Structure 1
């Protein structure tokens, strides 16, 4: 469907919803800023998850290079840091509707108000408009009708808040609740602007100064931790973000797991983190452990003691000052919780370290068990090819064989993901997979609510975090978020959403 437009939009190089191309046309001042009223969507359509992923955290353009197409240059220009904040809409069903009008009439520089739960919960400014089905499918997947949010807005100046929506909607003569993408004119926006004034934002706007003394913030919690982790300020090399900060944070989390001191002196830090940066940093990048030691303070998760200066210190200055650094007390407190820690490790690996050998890195920082859902360190080669082995004495969690047999029989040895049933000479074969691994470090329970019946292929993929199960039982490919299957469920099998949530955290899908 081609949507017609009455005015041209500000140029970004993107095609707008109508198929027109924005080529540097300035928005006439008399037109003014409009409101684009955007329902965020419910959990049924993964609205909160999509908002967190593509607006609050943003998507790394490097992860989607294969589907950016002709929009790549403009996106790189709008988001020089490599992280784009995007939202989209599916094509309209009817030729005449509020959605058709909104898609045709919205313009660059208009203000988007996100609506959820009878409130406006966020606002953003439109930086560009374009249509890209391949990118939308990669970021958000397909709905039940095989549609995706291909009418895409590139967003800036994102801030989150809560303000009642009903007074604004009634003043705009828009039915409550808001059901569809709707456009409010610049005149209506000016008339109702006072009613949409919001209190102090719940999430800092992009570019807002970060609290450098997070150690003394009494309300610091899980959400604060993940906002900071998802917005690490990293310098770039050839459009690729530096790995120094995320590698250092994984190293610090490893110290927490090993119950080592939170704060560590510069000399020890340099001797431990330096080799990690050398082996896992960007190829050709300098090994500068002093950079994360000092500059991680901007995340609000890190503190430095023994040195007070505004400029970056040299290694000799850090040694002379006997400086020490580490996670703040608040960050360490949150990261000592098993679920938050799994989520943090998954986020750091998926967002910043996607092309790093995750197994080896986590093993080096003392987090080997987090590379798989089972908690077992991945097989890194045969005994013949590897180093000499030695015998050790260890304890293994006891698994109930009756539960294993019960889950297999319940599903008649069929895989809950693909439905296949592996035939053997005399019977069939399936595998019982724990969603949250029993034993360290995951400490999951050995119970039916924590088990799945899987074929060997999907057991490996689930265990190695290649697939995950969302809140609506869709089995999604972790690399793209695309839906592969719908999980098959038995009436007598009550699966714990909390265990699935933990597994998604390991996958970086919080």
Structure 2
């Protein structure tokens, strides 16, 4: 390992290193030269074989080590070795057909070289290389009657373009409020379908308290008309009938709720966070988000801190008993992130001075507590000053895919996130936070 021994041991303290390499480019100007020059810690790697993407991982370290590469991989026919080494984390194996993605990116098919894709293009095609994105079959069907896949991006696009009744040039809040209520049921692991009487009793007060001031309280409207979104099922009433009255819904024993496939997507933590953030920011900007989300059982989604008590579970941070259940943070990680940045805020660079030292705060990007259940690891931590910690947790600022710190209310860039070479911030946690901000 030579001079890279200590760095590799720090990246892989368990003793097993995950490495990927590339041989030097043959030509001075090529796609491969550009890709090797543009790599950064934190970048995602997609692995391609037999016309498929077969795995993805995150770069946590970069090395140019000919001796190490020769020891790991040997040499090819021209005596070259894969000396441009990338240390990897979060390795996930899957199979996704590559051709639609490559053609969309404007990359020749088949892929023949290491290729660098910018964040903007990656964002447009993220669901096509997300192993968890497709859910089959979709309830809605095309004009030919064939079932189509419903992915996270399909669901979010649909939520972003709801057909809402316009009253006084302002869109009605009935549908968005109802969707949040229904998401709250899924988060609480309750049945997705609800009979009309229960729906009216639970949704009616929400429409009264959070709807437009001059809007009538008509829970039968979202109960029936959300069908047009393609994400909503109504049972007990035939599709061809006119909009039923409340008494007709009662007589029919009607029930409604998210379609089975939409519910499956929304049971995933990232999709649920993005959907909640999108609905609130798009349709309910003037509503007290904290109050509304608390009423529908989604209180923790008003903040990124994740401080709701719960009973834990597999893969969640361990808890110690007090008067309530609280996450147990690793104090060594907290100290490590603060020392790494010398207590300087990664957003503004400021260091809060105390009498004998400096003060900073370790902020989890995807909160530890319920409902977020983020991991307690360095890649999910930021070193922030108290002001920017509060703004980050309360969703006033977010970090985009190019590491720009943006004001959520305007989208304006305020800072560039400062990153230490030994700190690989994982974009999946930032993606989750952007979802809460309505920027998914």
Q: Sort the TM-score into its range (normalised by shorter chain).
A: 0.5 to 0.7
User: Partners of 2:106 and 2:267 in 1: how far apart?
Assistant: 34
Q: Is 2:221 the counterpart of 1:291?
A: yes
Deviations 1:239-279 (CA, angstroms, capped at 9, x unpaired): 21111111101100100111111100100000000000111
Distance (Å, rounded) in 2 between the aligned partners of 1:223 and 1:409: 39
Match of 1:342 in 2: 273
Q: Tell me the distance in 2 between the aligned counterparts of 1:249 and 1:448.
A: 35
Q: Does residue 447 of structure 1 match 2:406? A: no
Partner in structure 2 of residue 237 of structure 1: 167
Residues 53-76 of structure 1: per-residue CA shift (max 9 Å, x gap): xxxxxxxxxxxxxxxxxxxxxxxx
Matched, 1:312 2:237: no
Q: Does the 8 Å contact 1:246/1:348 carry over to 2? A: yes
2:292 — aligned with what? 361
Q: Following superposition of structure 1 onto structure 2, how do residues 186-335 of structure 1 map, counting pairs within 5 Å?
A: 217=147, 219-308=149-238, 309-335=240-266
Paired residues of 1:265 and 1:325 also in contact (CA < 8 A): yes
Q: Match of 1:485, SS?
A: strand
Question: Scaled by the length of structure 2, what TM-score is found?
Answer: 0.64
Q: Give the deviation of 1:496 after TM superposition.
A: 0.4
Q: Deviations over 1:39-61 (max 9, x none)?
A: xxxxx9xxxxxxxxxxxxxxxxx
Give how far 1:456 is off.
0.7
State how far apart, in whole Å, the 2-side matches of 1:470 and 1:355 are: 24
Go from structure 1 to structure 2 and tell me whether the alpha carbon gap of 1:494 and 1:277 turns closer, same or farther (over 3 Å shift): same
Q: Secondary structure at the match of 2:325?
A: coil
1:294-335 deviation digits (Å, cap 9, x = unpaired): 000000000100112431111111111111000000000001
**Runs of 4+ displaced beyond 2 Å:** 116-119, 162-165, 210-218
2: CA distance, partners of 1:300 / 1:306: 17
Report the equivalent of 2:427.
497
Deviations along 1:169-217, one digit per CA (max 9) or x if unpaired, are xxxxxxxxxxxxxxxxxxxxxxxxxxxxxxxxx9xxxxxxx98569994
Contact 1:431 1:456 in 2 (8 A): yes
Deviation at 1:235, TM superposition (A): 1.0
* Shift of residue 348, structure 1, vs aligned partner: 0.6
CA contact (8 A) 2:307 2:369 kept: no
- CA-based RMSD of the aligned residues comes to 2.7
Alpha-carbon shift at residue 376 of structure 1 (Å):
2.6
Task: State TM-score, norm by structure 1.
Answer: 0.56
Instruction: Return the alpha-carbon distance in structure 1 between the equivalents of residues 381 and 165 of structure 2.
Output: 42
- Secondary structure at the residue paired with 1:375? coil
Spell out, residue by residue over 1:145-172, the C-alpha distance to the aligned partner (whole angstroms, 9 max, x if none).
xxxxxxxxxxxxxxxxx9999xxxxxxx
Q: Match of 2:282?
A: 351
SS at match of 1:488: coil
Q: Is the 8 A contact 1:212 1:297 kept in 2?
A: no
Runs (5+) with no aligned partner, structure 1: 1-43, 45-115, 122-161, 166-201, 203-209, 378-391
CA distance in 1, matches of 2:426, 2:153: 23
Matches within 5 A, 1:385-396: 393-396=323-326
Asked if structure 1 preserves the Cα contact closer than 8 Å seen for 2:159 and 2:275, the reply is yes
8 A contact 2:140–2:148 mirrored in 1? no
Task: Measure, in 2, the Cα distance between the counterparts of 1:270 and 1:216.
Answer: 34
For residues 305 and 417 of structure 1, the distance between their equivalents in structure 2, rounded to whole angstroms, comes to 50
* 1:434/1:451 contact within 8 Å kept: yes
Matched residue SS, 1:396: strand
Secondary structure at the aligned position of 2:414 is classed as strand
Matched residue, 1:487: 417
Counting matched residue pairs gives 299
